[in-house]
């Protein structure tokens, strides 16, 4: 039987497909499963305990539980209670949660998570194999192509970060479906039915992957329209029309979820800045964990000195050699040119809006034009490398199946290239055990916590286990937190200074214990659970009040008499924000005055230097953030343009734009705003700029106390402050510029009142 005959023989095709799936499944178990088998119900893959993997684990428990209790699965008040939050923009993988419901019910959400971690590479490799075999024809060539996609540095890296992004097994099926339609193998009706199923399920796994798959498939169709002859272009037009119809039908089916997806809860700005999460040019050439080659000591030592940004999953190993050989090896068909064109398009897109080399910005790139487009600007370019590996998988399969050159040499190069991108073996160092105290596993919480009671869990942010503990307790209690998405905090909570401080794992703000008591009293929260390993970080929060502390089942339970919080129930978040802003503005002013008295130069007038000298504590100083917009030369010149500053001022006055973006676009020489929302820096020849982030009501008292001595006032920065002006909602930057000579008198006023600031006008008793 000839090879061509075998390929048209359905039993032979099925046997090859099952063999490929079995090979990929075994490889996935060998690479990713062996470290988990000692305790499959409690160990999981990850770069460390806690962190982002808790979100899909929580989702695997939430969706079955919500449906079983007849609750709306797309919105919950078990997180960020009592207000609740939408889950539409979270990475809680509802589609996978429904499929894994029986496993979750029998073995728990961590076991379900582990099953998905093993399935993701194997299924992704298998669907890429189907696509490669459709395009290249040969079984072995397609098998290598499947390995390149399913076991790429992108997939293995995202398995340790974000399971929702590692589950890209549906992605190859989108072009596969398009190809069999163009070849006339399925009717329009079957295409639409299949496409709708793909779209719906991919949305329920990851809307981001669906959006970017749609983007690059659309780019491929448009590019193909330029490369193929007229008869093919007609079929491509038909494909575009029925694809649009498929998306329309899918939108109707997804209406219950889309109702919570639009409008974006984050406004017009991206959830995360794409410039922070783009592929560094060096990442194409240098491996990063968990790549096997990243463990080679010279590479490991070199990597430690590099600034990768985030999610460095674009290491291509030796695959570019295959792409180069393929492009110059006599492949002149329209399909070959399409593959090379898509390879270049995706490679440029994954570099993001600004080219970075070792973390340093060099020049703007075409993706900058995607920044104003809603939804698309929320896609992080570093994740586009998934499509880069898919194109490289197809190119490799076609290169291996071709008849040009030495077959033995091609297979040797392809084998080494595929091996160069594999993850480290074994991955024992990435098998982590999250904290699951007996307080939850033995159901001890039932004795101490009432059903649906609101309980605060510390640590609050990424270092904590609140989501995992709640899932393990079968949602027996609610939480005034929920790191389902970093920016998904209700506005009513965001106004509490202590909540914002806890969300940054830095709770030692001025008046921390009073701030916590006011927050707890306002919401009737009388119980706090703390991970014992982190208890010392929160000691200052419980000073001045009669808390009852108990160590029970591996957690620290703090209980307070409701009467202790009675006087705080009437205190609003606005009042506590006002007091907090007064305190930190005064501390910034005191630090600046002290530094000048010590004879320090302008270079010392920044929060980082003040913290290093002990003049500011870390909670006030914050950290130096990564730039929202990179500081390449063109942008630096633009900042000095009066027209540009006027445009930015207009936007600041009419549209709520991210605070840090305003700081970078304004007239200052360089951004001095820190992650804690304060600004301290020189201004001109003889000025000192001091700033805080707050809403209009929260900065009123600060303005009243200090405006008389200010040479310039901006609010919202970079707009000059004018009383009576309409201001955008939310947190904005108040920046006040003082002559250096004025700092002494102002600092004296602050020190004279510093001890009484918490009680001013509020009657708070320590």
**Do 173 and 201 contact (CB within 8 A), yes or no?**
no
Q: What is the pLDDT of residues 221-280, one digit of tens each?
A: 999 998 888 878 889 999 999 999 999 999 999 999 999 887 766 666 667 778 778 899
Cβ-count burial 385-402 (b if 16+ within 10 Å, e if not): bbbbbbbbbbbbbbbbbb
Q: For position 214, what pLDDT does the model report? A: 96
Mean pLDDT of 725-740: 86
Residue 296 has pLDDT above 90, yes or no: no
Report the distance separating Cα 8 and Cα 204, nearest Å. 35
- Torsional sign, CA 600, 605, 608, 611: positive
Report the distance separating Cα 52 and Cα 46, nearest Å. 9
Neighbouring C-alpha atoms within 13 Å toward the C-beta of 593: 18
Mean pLDDT of 537-564: 90
* pTM exceeding the 0.85 threshold for the entire prediction: yes
Give the contacts of 730 (CB within 8 A, at least 6 positions apart).
Answer: 491, 656, 695
Long-range contacts of residues 106-111, Cβ cutoff 8 Å, at least 24 apart: 107/40, 107/41, 108/41, 108/472, 109/57, 109/58, 109/60, 109/61, 109/471, 110/41, 110/42, 110/43, 110/44, 110/57, 110/434, 111/40, 111/41
Q: For position 488, what pLDDT does the model report? A: 67
* Torsion of the alpha carbons at 530, 533, 537 and 541, rounded to the nearest 10: 20
Confidence grade of residue 1 (pLDDT, cut at 50, 70, 90): very low
Confidence grade of residue 306 (pLDDT, cut at 50, 70, 90): confident
Cβ-count burial 496-529 (b if 16+ within 10 Å, e if not): bbbbbbbbbebbebbbbbbbbbbbbbbbebbbbb
Rounded to the nearest 5 degrees, what angle is found at the Cα of 551, between the Cα atoms of 549 and 552? 125
Residue 398 has pLDDT above 50, yes or no: yes
**Do 628 and 660 contact (CB within 8 A), yes or no?**
yes
Q: For position 10, what pLDDT does the model report? A: 75
Give the contacts of 714 (CB within 8 A, at least 6 positions apart).
Answer: 666, 720, 721, 733, 734, 735, 736
* Distance set, CA 639 to CA 481, 602, 625, 645, 721 (Å): 38, 21, 19, 7, 20
Q: Which of 590, 580, 589 is nearest to 760 (CA)?
A: 580
Q: For position 331, what pLDDT does the model report? A: 62
Domain extent listing, the chain: 10-429, 438-571, 585-759
From the centroid of its chain, how far is CA 44?
Answer: 20
Residue 153 has pLDDT above 70, yes or no: yes
Report the distance separating Cα 620 and Cα 584, nearest Å. 6
For tokens 């397609």, what's the residue?
A: 142
Q: For position 6, what pLDDT does the model report? A: 43
Percent of the chain past pLDDT 70, that is, above it, reads 92
Residue 396 has pLDDT above 90, yes or no: yes
Q: Which residue has the higher pLDDT, 608 or 644?
A: 608
Q: What is the pLDDT of residues 344-381, one digit of tens each?
A: 999 999 999 888 888 877 888 898 888 777 777 788 89
Mean pLDDT of 301-313: 72
For tokens 């110059």, what's the residue?
A: 328
Token pair belonging to 700: 């009123």
Report the distance separating Cα 315 and Cα 319, nearest Å. 9
Report the distance separating Cα 69 and Cα 88, nearest Å. 19
Pairing type for strands 527-530 and 456-458 reads parallel
Q: For position 760, what pLDDT does the model report? A: 32
Residue 748 has pLDDT above 50, yes or no: yes
Report the distance separating Cα 252 and Cα 227, nearest Å. 34
Q: 732: which strand partners? A: 694
Q: Which residue has the higher pLDDT, 580 or 299?
A: 580
Q: Which of 117, 92, 83 is nearest to 471 (CA)?
A: 92
For tokens 């008793």, what's the residue?
A: 765
Rounded to the nearest 5 degrees, what angle is found at the Cα of 142, between the Cα atoms of 140 and 148? 110
Q: For position 267, what pLDDT does the model report? A: 60
Q: For position 623, what pLDDT does the model report? A: 87
Cβ-count burial 649-668 (b if 16+ within 10 Å, e if not): bebbbeebbbbbbbbbbbbb
Mapped to the 3 state alphabet, what secondary structure does 329-366 carry?
CCCCCHHHHHHHHHHHHHHHHHCCCEEEECCEEEEECH
Q: For position 269, what pLDDT does the model report? A: 62
Q: What is the pLDDT of residues 667-718, one digit of tens each?
A: 776 678 888 889 999 998 889 999 999 988 899 999 999 999 999 999 989 8
- Torsional sign, CA 121, 122, 123, 125: positive
**Do 537 and 528 contact (CB within 8 A), yes or no?**
no
- Helix (H) or strand (E) run with residue 232 in it: helix 230-253
**Do 150 and 121 contact (CB within 8 A), yes or no?**
yes
From the centroid of its chain, how far is CA 306?
Answer: 21
Report the distance separating Cα 576 and Cα 564, nearest Å. 18
Alpha-helix runs per DSSP H in 162-206: 163-166, 173-182, 188-205
For tokens 């008292």, what's the residue?
A: 701
Q: Which residue has the higher pLDDT, 9 or 232?
A: 232
Q: Please provide the distance, in angstroms rounded to a whole number, between the alpha carbons at the two ends of the chain.
A: 89
Token pair belonging to 453: 């009671």
Residue 309 has pLDDT above 70, yes or no: no
Q: What mean pLDDT, rounded, does the chain reach?
A: 87
Q: What is the pLDDT of residues 566-579, one digit of tens each?
A: 888 888 898 999 99
For tokens 């699951």, what's the residue?
A: 436
687-694 sheet: strands from edge to edge: 678-683, 687-694, 732-739, 712-714
- Helix (H) or strand (E) run with residue 413 in it: helix 407-420
- Torsional sign, CA 610, 614, 620, 621: positive
Report the distance separating Cα 248 and Cα 165, nearest Å. 24
From the centroid of its chain, how far is CA 336?
Answer: 35
Residue 477 has pLDDT above 60, yes or no: yes
Q: For position 231, what pLDDT does the model report? A: 79
Token pair belonging to 166: 């590692």
Q: Which of 339, 394, 323, 402 is nearest to 130 (CA)?
A: 394
Residue 263 is given by DSSP the state: S
**Do 148 and 389 contact (CB within 8 A), yes or no?**
yes
Q: What is the pLDDT of residues 636-662, one digit of tens each?
A: 777 778 888 788 888 777 766 677 778
């Amino acid at each position: 039987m000839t090879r061509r005959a075998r390929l048209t023989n359905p039993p032979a095709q099925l046997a090859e497909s099952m063999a490929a799936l079995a090979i990929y499944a075994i490889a996935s178990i060998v690479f990713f499963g062996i470290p988990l088998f000692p305790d499959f119900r409690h160990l999981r893959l990850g770069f460390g305990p806690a962190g982002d993997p808790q979100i899909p684990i929580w989702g695997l428990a939430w969706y079955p539980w919500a449906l079983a209790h007849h609750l709306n699965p797309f919105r919950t008040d078990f997180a960020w209670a009592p207000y609740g939050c939408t889950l539409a923009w979270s990475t809680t993988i509802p589609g996978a949660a429904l499929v894994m419901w029986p496993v979750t019910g029998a073995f728990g959400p961590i076991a379900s998570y582990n099953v998905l971690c093993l399935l993701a590479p194997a299924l992704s490799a298998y669907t890429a194999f189907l696509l490669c075999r459709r395009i290249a024809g040969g079984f072995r060539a397609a098998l290598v192509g499947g390995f390149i996609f399913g076991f790429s540095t992108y997939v293995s890296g995202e398995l340790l970060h974000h399971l929702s992004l590692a589950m890209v097994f549906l992605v190859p099926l989108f072009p596969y479906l398009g190809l069999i339609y163009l070849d006339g193998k399925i009717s329009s009706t079957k295409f639409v039915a299949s496409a709708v199923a793909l779209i719906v399920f991919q949305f329920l796994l990851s809307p981001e992957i669906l959006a970017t798959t749609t983007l690059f498939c659309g780019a491929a169709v448009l590019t193909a329209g330029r490369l193929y002859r007229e008869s093919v272009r007609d079929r491509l037009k038909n494909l575009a029309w029925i694809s649009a119809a498929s998306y329309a039908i899918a939108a109707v089916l997804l209406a219950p979820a889309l109702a919570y997806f639009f409008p974006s809860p984050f406004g017009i700005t991206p959830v995360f800045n794409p410039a922070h999460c783009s592929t560094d040019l060096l990442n194409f050439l240098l491996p990063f964990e968990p790549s096997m080659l990243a463990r080679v000591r010279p590479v490991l030592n070199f990597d430690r000195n590099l600034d990768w940004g985030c999610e460095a999953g674009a290491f291509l190993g030796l695959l570019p050699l295959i792409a180069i050989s393929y492009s110059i090896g006599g492949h002149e068909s329209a399909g070959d040119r399409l593959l090379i064109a898509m390879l270049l398009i995706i490679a440029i897109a994954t570099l993001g809006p600004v080219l970075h080399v070792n973390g340093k910005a060099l020049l703007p790139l075409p993706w900058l034009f995607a920044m104003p487009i809603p939804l698309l600007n929320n896609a992080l370019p570093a994740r586009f490398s998934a499509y880069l590996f898919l194109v490289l998988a197809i190119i490799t399969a076609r290169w291996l199946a071709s008849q040009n050159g030495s077959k033995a040499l091609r297979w040797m190069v392809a084998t080494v290239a595929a091996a160069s991108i594999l993850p480290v073996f074994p991955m024992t160092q990435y098998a982590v055990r999250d904290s699951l105290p007996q307080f939850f596993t033995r159901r001890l919480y039932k004795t101490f916590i009432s059903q649906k009671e609101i309980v605060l869990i510390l640590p609050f942010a990424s270092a904590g286990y609140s989501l995992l503990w709640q899932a393990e307790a079968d949602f027996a209690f609610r939480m005034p937190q929920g790191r389902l998405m970093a920016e998904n905090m209700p506005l009513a909570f965001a106004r509490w200074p202590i909540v914002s401080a806890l969300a940054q794992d830095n709770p030692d703000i001025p008046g921390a214990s009073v701030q916590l008591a006011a927050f707890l009293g306002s919401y009737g929260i009388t119980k706090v659970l703390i991970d014992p390993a982190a208890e010392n970080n929160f000691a200052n929060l419980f000073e001045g009040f009669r808390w009852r502390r108990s160590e029970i089942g591996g957690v620290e339970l703090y209980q307070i008499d409701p009467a202790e919080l009675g006087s705080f129930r009437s205190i609003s978040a606005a009042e506590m924000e006002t007091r907090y802003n007064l305190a930190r503005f005064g501390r910034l002013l005191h630090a600046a005055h002290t530094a000048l008295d010590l004879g320090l130069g302008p270079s010392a007038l920044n929060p980082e230097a003040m913290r290093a000298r002990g003049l500011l504590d870390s909670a006030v100083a914050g950290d130096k953030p990564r730039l929202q917009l990179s500081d390449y030369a063109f942008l630096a010149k633009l900042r000095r343009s009066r027209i540009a500053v006027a445009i930015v001022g207009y936007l600041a006055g009419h549209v709520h734009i991210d605070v840090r973006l305003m700081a970078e676009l304004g007239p200052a020489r360089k951004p001095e705003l820190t992650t804690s929302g304060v600004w301290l820096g020189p201004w001109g020849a003889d000025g000192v700029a001091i700033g805080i982030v707050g809403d209009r009501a929260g900065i009123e008292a600060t303005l009243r106390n200090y405006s008389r001595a200010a040479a310039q006032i901006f609010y919202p920065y970079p707009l000059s402050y004018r009383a009576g002006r309409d201001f955008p909602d939310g947190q904005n930057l108040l920046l006040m510029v003082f002559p250096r000579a004025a700092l002494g008198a102002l600092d004296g006023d602050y020190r004279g009142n510093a001890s009484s600031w918490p009680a001013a006008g509020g009657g708070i008793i320590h």
